[in-house]
Amino acid sequence: LVNLFLRSPVDADGNARPIDVYPTAGGERAYEAWMDYTMAAFDLEAEAAPRDRCHAEGLNPTAITVDPGSYAVAEVEVKSLPGAGFYDQFFAVNVSRLLGSETK
C-alpha cells in the first residue's frame, strides 16, 4: 500500500476536507483517523504498488457514514496479480467521529 487518503465528501461548493491518517501504535497494517464533528461521512482512496504486480480492492464506492461519537472500520485488501508472487495483505483504518464537546 503506497497511498491511503481519507476525505469528507464534496460539499455544495465542490470542496472536500482531508482527514489525517496515522499508523496505529503497535499495529503493523492498522491505521486510525478522526473526523471533525461537522463531517458526516468519509471517502477512502488507496493505491497499491508496484501496479504491474498488485492492486487495491475493497474500496467502498460510496461515502461511509459515521455517527457522532462513533466509529467505522474500513478495510483495504492489496491483492497480488496472477503470477506476481506476492501474498495478499489486508489493511484496516479505524475512523472515529468526534462529538464536538472535545473542543472549547
CA dist 89 and 2 (Å) reads 13
- The confidence score (pLDDT) of residue 104 equals 57
Chain segment 55-74, per-residue pLDDT in tens: 898 788 889 999 999 999 99
Are 93 and 33 within 8 A, CB to CB? Answer: yes
Bond into 50 cis (ω within 30)? yes
Q: What is the pTM of this model?
A: 0.85
Query: In angstroms, rounded to a whole number, what is the distance separating the alpha carbons of residues 59 and 44?
Result: 7
